[in-house]
Amino acid sequence: MPAIPSLGGLGGLRGRNSRRPAAVPEAPPTPPAHVIDCAVYVDGTRLPGRFSHIEAIAEVRRRRDGFVWIGLFEPDEEQIQGIAETFGLHELAVEDAVTAHQRPKVDRYDDTLFMVLKTVRYIAHESPTTANEIVETGEIMAFLGKSFIVTVRHGQHSGLAKLREEMEAEPERLRIGPAAVLHAIADRVVDSYLAVSESFENDIDVIESSVFAPNSPIGAEQIYLMKREILELRRAVMPLAVPLRRLAEGYTPLVPEDVRSYFRDVDDHLTTVSERVGGFDELLTTLVDATLAKISLQQNTDMRKITAWAAIIAVPTMVVGVYGMNFDYMPELRWRFGYPLVVLVILGACVILYRIFRRNRWL
């Protein structure tokens, strides 16, 4: 007789057949739209997973090592408020980061450093003689602390995702700390100045060739446009010299000595750009003067031509005006060949005047 399974065996069988599927782990929450990235770096390596700004700084404080790098894109006052409270950012610096349109500068607030850099982008065009805009500007603000760096970006062209990838591929750079990130941002911005200035130089060469070419159609308006764009580039480049020099000279202990030497190198590159931009400004001023002189010369030439033709036309006008009077006794009025003779006299006088003006290069 077959054995009857016990209730315990049946219960175990039911348990195996009715086992619930394992719970699927929830995906980490997606960061807000204004938060481009939030990462924790320990010993130069990025920790896996997603972090909110609160979780990130808590992880760093728990480990007592590493730092947080948060990237923001055009946040408003409400969006940045929580980050400002978490990292202890000064309200004046936060206001500048939200409103943007700041000059390049560096300010120190207690144990936090606030730096503003202007970004530039060269707008490609077919020819500088027809372009309406050549340079587009944006801004990058950076809050630097002992264990964090918060970057705020304004402008579509000033992304830092590629820079972050490059630094993550070189852990020895990130191992230095958040000051290395600030240097990398400044170095990238100044390198973009060099690239834009080289493109500008090519455009100025084209404008210069057009100005001094004979019968060129270039006008002063296009050179004024180039000068305006150069001034926009100059407003981004020139004010940055003082902040970089301060960081290179030990303005704050947040930038260690081994990073200051790199800031000196960035300052040297900025000096090269500043000299180049200053030379562009002077050259464009010279081209404006040359263009105005060329326009004035062309106007004088046109006026001489108009005057010469007016003098030639005055001869037949005078003769015809005299013979248009209603007098009975006029020279050769009743003569059969009077009309042809008068016409020949008019033509002869006009030809003589034309040859005189032609010889004097008025025509």
Cα dihedral 211, 216, 218, 220 sign: positive
Pick the more confident residue, 18 or 303. 303
What is the per-residue pLDDT for 27?
44
What is the per-residue pLDDT for 118?
94
- Sort 291 into a burial class: Cβ within 10 Å, 0-12 / 13-18 / 19+: buried
Residues 232 and 334 in one domain: no
Question: At residue 9, does pLDDT exceed 60?
Answer: no
Q: Do the domain assignments include residue 290?
A: yes
What is the per-residue pLDDT for 266?
94
pLDDT, averaged across the chain: 83
Residues 99 and 68 in one domain: yes
Tell me the C-alpha distance between 113 and 253, whole Å: 10
Question: At residue 325, does pLDDT exceed 80?
Answer: no
Range in 81-85, 201-205, 240-244 the model is least confident about: 201-205
Q: Do the domain assignments include residue 23?
A: no
Residues 187 and 110 in one domain: yes
Residues 232 and 344 in one domain: no
Question: At residue 324, does pLDDT exceed 90?
Answer: no
Residues 268 and 167 in one domain: yes
DSSP-assigned letter for residue 26: P
Residue 142: which of 76, 78, 96 has the closest Cα?
A: 96
What is the per-residue pLDDT for 17?
41
Q: What's the CATH number where 171 sits? A: 3.30.460.20
What is the per-residue pLDDT for 15?
39
CB 254, CB 144: distance < 8 Å: yes
Residues 211 and 333 in one domain: no
Residue 70: which of 88, 82, 85, 52 has the closest Cα?
A: 52
Pick the more confident residue, 246 or 359. 246
Q: Do the domain assignments include residue 8?
A: no
- For 167-224, the pLDDT digits (tens) are 999 999 999 999 999 999 999 999 999 999 999 888 888 888 888 877 776 677 788 8
- For 119-169, the pLDDT digits (tens) are 999 998 888 877 888 889 999 999 999 999 999 999 888 789 999 999 999
Tell me the C-alpha distance between 321 and 323, whole Å: 6
Percent of the chain with pLDDT over 90: 47
- Per the structure, the complete domain to which residue 349 belongs is given by 302-359
Question: At residue 14, does pLDDT exceed 50?
Answer: no
Q: Do the domain assignments include residue 16?
A: no
Residues 282 and 306 in one domain: no
Q: Do the domain assignments include residue 195?
A: yes
**Of 273, 296, 319, which marks where a domain is finished?**
296
Residues 316 and 182 in one domain: no
What is the per-residue pLDDT for 85?
93
Pick the more confident residue, 330 or 104. 104
Residues 74 and 213 in one domain: yes
Q: Do the domain assignments include residue 9?
A: no
Residues 148 and 269 in one domain: yes
**Of 274, 296, 318, which marks where a domain is finished?**
296
What is the per-residue pLDDT for 321?
76
User: Per-residue pLDDT averaged across 58-83, rounded?
Assistant: 92
Residues 96 and 244 in one domain: yes
Count of structural domains, the chain = 2
DSSP-assigned letter for residue 122: E
Q: Do the domain assignments include residue 76?
A: yes
Residues 269 and 345 in one domain: no
**Of 259, 281, 296, which marks where a domain is finished?**
296
What is the per-residue pLDDT for 308?
85
Look up the pTM and report it. 0.75
User: Per-residue pLDDT averaged across 52-76, rounded?
Assistant: 93
From its phi and psi, is residue 312 left (phi > 0), alpha (psi between -120 and 50) or beta?
A: alpha
Q: Do the domain assignments include residue 261?
A: yes
Tell me the C-alpha distance between 196 and 214, whole Å: 30
What is the per-residue pLDDT for 356?
85
What is the per-residue pLDDT for 66?
93
- For 284-315, the pLDDT digits (tens) are 888 888 888 887 877 787 788 888 888 888 88
Q: What's the CATH number where 314 sits? A: 1.20.58.340
Tell me the C-alpha distance between 161 and 180, whole Å: 16
pLDDT level of residue 26 (50, 70, 90 thresholds): very low
